[in-house]
Amino acid sequence: MIRTANLPDRYGQFLSRMEREWILSRIWAHDFTVWKPNPTEITNRLGWLHAPFSMMRAVDRITAFANDVRASGFKHVVLLGMGGSSLAPETFARTFGAAPGWPNLSILDSTHPVAIAETERQLDLSHTLFVVATKSGTTTETLSLFRYFHNRALEKKQAQPGAQFVAITDPGSPLVELAAHHGFRKTFLNDPDIGGRYAALSLFGLVPAALLGIDISRFLTRSQKTSIECAKYDRLTENPAVRLGAILAACAIAGRDKLTFVLPPEIVSFGNWVEQLIAESTGKEGTGILPIVGEPIGPPGIYSDDRLFVSFSLRGNRSAADVTAELERVGHPVIHIEMDEIYSLGGQFFLWELATALAASVLGINPFDQPNVDSAKRLALEQIAAFRQTGELPASGSSPLTSSTLTEFLSPSQPGDYIALQAYLPPGDHLNEVFASLRAVLRDRFGVATTFGYGPRFLHSTGQLHKGDRGNGRFIQFVAVPGDDLRIPDEPGASVSSLTFGALISAQARGDRQALLDAGRSVATFTVPVDPTELIHQTAGSIAAEGGRSWTSAS
């Protein structure tokens, strides 16, 4: 159920336009001209429209595979993937958890050596299954992690190390041959007409879900119900995807382009998935809708008129709706979405995919391409080439973090801008909390929205928007020199290594910094400890005090 309040006038205009131009029926008919006059990266990216029904045919074989994994004694599953390959599985793992008797699932989408070592410490490698998930079959981070753990399995003298690996990829990708050569337990070939960020209801999402013991048939049934509701051409004002898409576009064009999510704890990880979907789909050609996920909610008076709020609630729990009630009362536009149960996420995945595609049609952009992503990748590869040649990376341009240097960098912020905190650090709940506290302080002090992401993960999520939007972001990199590094094998099973994970993540940070600068963005890079909790706590406290506010860390 969707309820709305305080929508801009253009909302009604866009509903009328969608009806007049038959936008919805043309999307279902795969008419690429809804978005652009040419079909490039559109006509081969619309398979997600039919996934709720087409994937039902794969349920039996997915479930049989999951049952075999369980019966084989695996206690843990580690998914190696980035962006669209990892965010839906993370949502499943954090929302549902493992059913009794099923293996735990963890997501490794970091190249920080501390994060990798910590993941490994929690595993019994002889009873761990690794899922190597990459649409292209060439993702640097994913393949580097595969080579590392493949060698670790060999070192443990596993008789058939390949039997501990599963591939999810597109037909014909290099990973297909790699998996065959190394004797992977299974290779799942996904529909190639489904793009990464629209792949939640494909094999990329459903295989990891089944490995947790989730009833994927029930999940798909919920998505089918929503798909049917979103296919109704008559009475467009009752079509949830049309309504949501029109709201997103109308608010963005009215300047309310900071889509702020308020999520209950039970489904909080859904925010990371929808953040990638919206940011990478709309952040291009000088426009974009910026998802705000995980920013602590403050009093209504601190928000400017660039916000659109969306609150989710589970039936019987109105905590998120209650939080946004005061925001609604003072005039901010608010979307309230009520879900029956957590399996309703199956419908939410589809709803937001279609609504995002509809909003993109109004904004005049292609939601399926990512024209600015390659710049950071190319520059990172240049850094890696330099490291392999000299054993060192070029100068980084970083400086120590202090409250004064951070304040000086952010002082030029203007209403409508945003601050993006980018932590090239090992992910952890304690860092999530302290960065959330810092976000609240910076938002209150400078009057702008804030985002947060771990590198290199966010490069596959919000990185497109950072370089493709209207250039109103201020980017803060937090980088740390790892003490104990880990070597990346050049080939699976080989001992030769010309690159370390520490050098890789440093190269990715430097490559993205240069890509942002080349795009005319404002960037500051600060050197911090691997665990910067105390430093960021002190920095946030000092900035809050300078602004005349009392402050207590959320941690």
For residue 307, the domain's CATH number is 3.40.50.10490
Residue 275 lies in a domain: yes
| Domain coverage including residue 107 | 50-214
Residue 221 lies in a domain: no
Say whether 220 sits in a helix, a strand or coil.
Answer: helix
Residues 400 and 316 both lie in one domain: no
Q: Point out the domain boundary residue: 166, 184, 214.
A: 214
Residues 394 and 541 both lie in one domain: yes
H-assigned helices in 330-416: 345-363, 373-390, 403-410
Residues 336 and 415 both lie in one domain: no
Residues 182 and 91 both lie in one domain: yes
Amino acid symbol at 234: D
Peptide bond preceding 456: is omega within 30 degrees of 0, i.e. cis? yes
Residues 75 and 195 both lie in one domain: yes
Rounded to 10 deg, the angle between the 429-446 and 533-546 helix axes is 20
Chain CA centroid to CA 29, Å: 28
The structure tokens listed for 231 are: 């296919």
Q: For residues 348 and 2, what is the distance between their CA atoms, to the nearest angstrom? A: 11
| Residue whose C-alpha is closest to residue 105's, from 126, 83, 86 | 86
The structure tokens listed for 107 are: 């997501």
The structure tokens listed for 189 are: 């070939």
Whether 111 and 504 have beta carbons less than 8 Å apart is answered as: yes
Going by their DSSP bridges, the two strands 522-527 and 399-400 should be labelled as parallel
Residues whose CB falls within 8 Å of the CB of residue 53, separated by 6 or more in sequence, listed in order: 224, 227
The structure tokens listed for 215 are: 């009833």
Residues 541 and 439 both lie in one domain: yes
In the block, tokens 């793009």 appear at 195
Residue 381 lies in a domain: yes
Helix (H) or strand (E) holding 77: strand 76-80
Residues 326 and 398 both lie in one domain: no
Q: For residues 211 and 93, what is the distance between their CA atoms, to the nearest angstrom? A: 10
Amino acid symbol at 384: I
Helix (H) or strand (E) holding 273: helix 270-282
Domain count, the chain: 3
Whether 346 and 259 have beta carbons less than 8 Å apart is answered as: no
Q: Point out the domain boundary residue: 304, 328, 363.
A: 363
pTM of the model: 0.96
Q: What angle do CA 446, 336, 326 make, to 5 degrees?
A: 50
Residues 150 and 271 both lie in one domain: no
Along the 555 residues of the chain, how does pLDDT read in single tens digits?
799 999 999 999 999 999 999 999 999 999 999 999 999 999 999 999 999 999 999 999 999 999 999 999 999 999 999 999 999 999 999 999 999 999 999 999 999 999 999 999 999 999 999 999 999 999 999 999 999 999 999 988 766 889 999 999 999 999 999 999 999 999 999 999 999 999 999 999 999 999 999 999 999 999 999 999 999 877 788 899 999 999 999 999 999 999 999 999 999 999 999 999 999 999 999 999 999 999 999 999 999 999 999 999 998 776 666 788 899 999 999 999 999 999 999 999 999 999 999 999 999 999 999 999 999 999 999 999 999 988 888 877 889 999 999 999 999 999 999 999 999 999 999 999 999 999 999 999 999 999 999 999 999 999 999 999 999 999 999 999 777 899 999 999 999 999 999 999 999 999 999 999 999 999 999 999 999 999 999 999 999 998 755 445 543
Residues 193 and 139 both lie in one domain: yes
Residues 270 and 393 both lie in one domain: no
| Residue whose C-alpha is closest to residue 267's, from 204, 193, 342 | 342
Amino acid symbol at 46: L
